[in-house]
Amino acid sequence: MSSPHIFIREAAMPDRYDLPTGFRWGVATAAHQIEGAVDEDGRGPSIWDTFTARPGTVRDGHTGAVACDHYHRYPEDIELMRGLGLDGYRFSIAWPRIQPTGAGPADPAGLAFYDRLVDALLEACITPLPTLFHWDLPQALEDRGGWLNRDTAHRFADYTALVADHLGDRVPAWITLNEPFVHMVYGYALGIHAPGRALMLDALPVAHHQLLAHGLAATLLHERGLDVLVSNNLTPVEPASPSPADLAAADAYDTLHNRLFTDPLLLGRYPDLTAFGTGPDLHGAVRPGDLDLITATPLTGLGVNYYNPTRIAAPTDPSLPFTFAEIPDVPHTAFGWPIVPDGLRALLVSLHDRYGTALPPVTITENGCSTTEGLDDPTRISYLSTHLDALATAVAEGVDVRGYYTWSLLDNFEWAEGYHQRFGLVHVDFATQQRTPRASYTWYRDLIAAHRARCAKEGSV
């Protein structure tokens, strides 16, 4: 029987051990989700400190004030990474630690923390892969309009230069932005995340200003001989039916979620946004020369964060050109996200088909699942293993994928869900900060070791 979904293929898949030699294994985290220590060593407030202080924004009033206390416990966390045998660690740098007010010289104490972190990673033979912006904008910049203000892109460039000048001798590759799509939609369109603005389609300039920030930062990184990636959340989009109305709605959603950021980055132009009430200038945000700047530095890699596909139907209210539909007959994570591993294959193949030679090598910079399971977490193991099989299938179908960073090393502060969604290979008891590796930790460690052993054997014949 054939699948009802375009992205569920029932053909045999190669297994995850078929991933190429040199494929890089990692884990991913983000500063505000793990560091804590929000008032220490001169760190300034970020939009997430302000947002979480407002009643009703985060489930049960949780905040990132302590999180996993990684700011103090990073040596223990790096030992956990060493135990996994990782090639790389994706983390983010907290801009408010480097520039507490979003401008001016670097705070030496802020830089010193990332010095310690990077040096300890290198000591453990783990390559640091920092993200420069994972949503924790200095509050002082939000007070001047945040990403609605074009000047924030220039402030981001200044911050990038400070950090790259300091760490660039030890850190070869950098991710400029994390999920600019989610930051725009959740933070500025819907107000579910910081800074909590509910502007709906008037949030679109936030897309352009983030891309401009990427372009400015990429130029500076490139001038310093550093590799540049950018990570976005992407999703394969399925129409709820073959009706022209559902197809048009699915196309509109695909444009917003997948093409709004990727087309300018790879093709140097915005997709047709008329369904969203704007021309290619995004409500006047785009100025002459901006798109050239965004594409001036070729990406070393495209970071793809994949969690689930999306099913779309014709709109039910006129304010948006689509509506979300349930994906039937699939299991869901504790977060309620549909589990569809083949969506990862479909997504990667569609990127390859859509962008052709303009697509740089891909790295999966996030993929993982939240469960309510304790230390024994078969659902997470199944999620990760089936997604890696799907990834191996995409590679067999010709997509150049260079690495996989699972989300996440530790249970952590999951934004609007607080500490309720647990994504970690390592369980964290937030009352005691006790870390305990789950079954998935051991499984991932063994997978990495088995892949390496297989590559070594193949290399020796």
Q: Which stretch binds ligand FCB (CB under 6 A): 117-125, 136-144, 174-182, 258-266?
A: 174-182
Residue placing its CB nearer to ligand FCB in the complex, 41 or 373: 373
As given in the structure block, the two tokens for residue 36 are 């804590």
Q: Which residues pair with 366 in a beta bridge?
A: 305
Residue placing its CB nearer to ligand FCB in the complex, 46 or 178: 178
**Binds ligand FCB (CB under 6 A): choice among 49, 77, 179, 290:** 179
Q: Which residues pair with 429 in a beta bridge?
A: 434
Q: Which stretch binds ligand FCB (CB under 6 A): 103-111, 178-186, 198-206, 316-324?
A: 178-186
Residue placing its CB nearer to ligand FCB in the complex, 107 or 414: 414
The least distance separating ligand FCB from the CB of residue 307, rounded to whole angstroms, comes to 7
Given 366, 373, 397, 458, the catalytic residue: 366
- Name 375's Cβ contacts closer than 8 Å, sequence gap at least 6: 427, 436, 437, 438, 439
The least distance separating ligand FCB from the CB of residue 425, rounded to whole angstroms, comes to 13
3-state secondary structure of 92: strand
Given 142, 179, 238, 414, the catalytic residue: 179
Based on the residue annotation, tell me whether 179 is a catalytic residue of this protein: yes
Helices then strands, each counted (H, E), the chain: 15, 13
Considering only residues 5 through 44, tell me which ones interact with ligand FCB, judged by CB under 6 A. 30, 33
The answer to whether 422 and 372 are in contact (CB under 8 A) is yes
- How distant is the alpha carbon of residue 305 from its chain centre? 5
What is the β-pairing status of strands 323-325 and 310-313?
A: antiparallel
The answer to whether 283 and 276 are in contact (CB under 8 A) is no
Tell me if 366 contacts ligand FCB by CB under 6 A. yes
Residue placing its CB nearer to ligand FCB in the complex, 393 or 406: 406
Residue placing its CB nearer to ligand FCB in the complex, 182 or 334: 182
Considering only residues 75 through 114, tell me which ones interact with ligand FCB, judged by CB under 6 A. none
The least distance separating ligand FCB from the CB of residue 34, rounded to whole angstroms, comes to 10
Q: Which amino acid is at 141?
A: L
Give the angle 340-363-178 at the CA atoms, nearest 5°. 85
Considering only residues 279 through 308, tell me which ones interact with ligand FCB, judged by CB under 6 A. 305
The least distance separating ligand FCB from the CB of residue 337, rounded to whole angstroms, comes to 9
The answer to whether 4 and 329 are in contact (CB under 8 A) is yes
Considering only residues 406 through 435, tell me which ones interact with ligand FCB, judged by CB under 6 A. 407, 414-415, 423
As given in the structure block, the two tokens for residue 163 are 């950090």
User: What does each C-alpha distance from 355 to 69, 236, 294, 312, 351 come to in angstroms?
Assistant: 41, 15, 16, 23, 6
As given in the structure block, the two tokens for residue 115 are 């010095």
The least distance separating ligand FCB from the CB of residue 182, rounded to whole angstroms, comes to 5
Count residues binding ligand FCB (CB under 6 A).
12
Residue placing its CB nearer to ligand FCB in the complex, 46 or 305: 305
User: What does each C-alpha distance from 50 to 64, 137, 356 come to in angstroms?
Assistant: 11, 11, 43
The least distance separating ligand FCB from the CB of residue 224, rounded to whole angstroms, comes to 26
State the binding string over 242-281 for ligand FCB (x if CB under 6 A, else -). ----------------------------------------
Helix (H) or strand (E) holding 302: strand 301-305
- Name 156's Cβ contacts closer than 8 Å, sequence gap at least 6: 95, 132, 133, 213, 216, 217
**Binds ligand FCB (CB under 6 A): choice among 127, 139, 160, 233:** 233
Point out the residues that are catalytic.
179, 366
Chain positions contacting ligand FCB, by CB under 6 A? 30, 33, 178-179, 182, 233, 305, 366, 407, 414-415, 423
